[in-house]
Chain A
Amino acid sequence: MKREEILHNLRKIFKDDVIEVVDKSPKRVYIEIKHESLVKVASYIFKDLKARFNTASGVDMRNHMEILYHFLIEDINLLISLRVKLQKPKLEIDSLVPVFEGANWIEREIHEILGINFKGHPDLKRLLLPDDWPEGVYPLRRDYKEWDKNAIRDRGV
């Protein structure tokens, strides 16, 4: 399938789910979708278009959280990034682990550093943060405050 064909199909099949398509460059496309349609669109891209899941990246935009799911279609060198926006305070989205195993660790990471709950994840335990890290403190959020009085604060300045 060609690039135009893929984008046309995506627009047609998911016309109720796609909010906006940003055609940034020949190799990059950003597609904003409704957060409840994530699993539907992601499994189409992974299984039918044979894309590889690169990773997901979460950003705290103060009023909402944004997660980007990056997929690379290797045959035609097209990187599709699915953008979902989660309004605070309801930070919940369906997990992609039932569709493919590759999403397991990155969902655990986003869960602990941004505090987003992935519904249907088989084992949402900690990945990187230590065991004595307090519950409900998320280091990559904008409102994060250092809580450990004994932490070494050497920024190398």
Chain B
Amino acid sequence: MAKTIVPIGPYHPLQEEPEFFILTVEGEKVVDVDVRIGYNHRGIEKLSEMKSFDQSTFVIERICGICSTSHPFAYTRAVEDIISIEVPERAKYIRTIIAEGERIHSHLLWLGLAGHFLGYNTVYMWVWKLREEILDVMEILTGNRNNYAMFKPGGIRRDIKSEDIPVVIKKMDSIVPTLEMLKKAVIDDPVIHARTKGIGILSKEEAINYCALGPTARASGVARDVRKDSPYGAYDKVEWDMIVTHNGDVFDKLVVRVLEVFESIRIIKNCFLSLPGGEIDANIKDIPPGEGIGNIEAPRGECFHYVRSDGTNRPVRHKVRAPTFMNLPTCKATVIGEYISDATIILAAIDPCYCCTERMTAIRNIRGKKIYSGEDLIKLSRKKTEILRNKMGVK
């Protein structure tokens, strides 16, 4: 049979970010796949070399909106590794709380998108509504829904108020029943079984060979989690379990993420229960010459930063390696041999994040168009609905 090339991207109505998949198909079977990335490349590593150590924290926080804690977390740990200092206990706990809050909202975001890719928009709407609750919690704790700006080399920038803690714990408890219901609805759903079970299998050997990370590796039976392997923050001080499944298909990746949300809630609650008092900042003055490595478990896998200092106030080299950079090449092992209709969910199953992979900052309004506020957007959306209603003759 003749081979056909199906290009997906780089700009495509189904995609959230620009990426280019070149699928070679024979009939409906995918026989080869090639990925072209770089459409978001902004040269953050070079930019970071022009900023001071403190400024870099903010630059790399803007690498990605979803992992806006993971990158500063790994970076500050790398800088602390150069100086060889430990941050105060209270800062470690608060860092852990923020990082887990981010994991919950990132996993829920993916779950919603997975439902959307499968054409199951009910899941998408439910999950994203639930995600709002988590973003509210993050707003109570840090003042922002995203880009929390909580991290600095040596500690954190803002303390958590003690009167906020009961409110947050109550909110966390209130989302658990909805999550339980969702878990049952998603894991026991026959439609989701039919679409995700047994497709896009990444074997354990392939996961090790491709050095896959995070939920992608854990779904293939590789017990790999930086939080357990090289504990940081408060992960070795509170109780929690690593979720590992063994089939390596899309369904198992989904199960790992759903169950991890419950573990994250457990970690946050345990952290609040044993939150120590005291300082939140080690007050770093100068960064000596040397090199440091910081690695943490981001929602998608290990986030790795390498920072090198020559004794001035700016890094000489700052290498950023996001988890998707290692997970995306596994599509060669998972997509080939599958049907083209399953390719979208298989490619989405690793929870790809191109901003991170290519290290880009937030999108700027360069053409001087009007920037809408939240209220403006709601007004705009109502106006559009009204126009549509009138057109369709619905009262």
Contact = CB atoms under 8 A, between A and B. Distances in A.
Nearest to B330: A101
B304 A54 contact: yes
Given A54-B302, A102-B326, A128 B358 contact: yes
B337 interface: no
B211 A53 contact: yes
Interface residues of A, number: 33
Contacts of A55: 304, 306, 319, 321, 325-326
A21 interface: no
A155 to B, nearest CB: 7
A112 to B, nearest CB: 9
B17 interface: no
A72 B319 contact: no
B84 to A, nearest CB: 6
Contacts of B295: 54, 72, 79
16 contacts: A52-B208, A55-B325, A55-B326, A59-B308, A68-B306, A77-B229, A100-B209, A100-B210, A101-B329, A102-B209, A102-B329, A105-B329, A127-B38, A128-B41, A139-B43, A152-B366
Nearest to B317: A59
B316 A59 contact: yes
The majority secondary structure among interface residues of chain A is mixed
Interface in A47-84: 52-55, 57, 59, 68, 70, 72, 74-75, 77, 79, 81
Given A25-B84, A70-B306, A77-B230, A106 B325 contact: yes
A127 B37 contact: yes
Q: Which 7 A-B pairs have the closest CB atoms?
A: A102-B211, A57-B319, A55-B321, A128-B38, A74-B229, A77-B230, A59-B317
Nearest to A81: B293
A127 B20 CA distance: 12
Contacts of B81: 25, 28
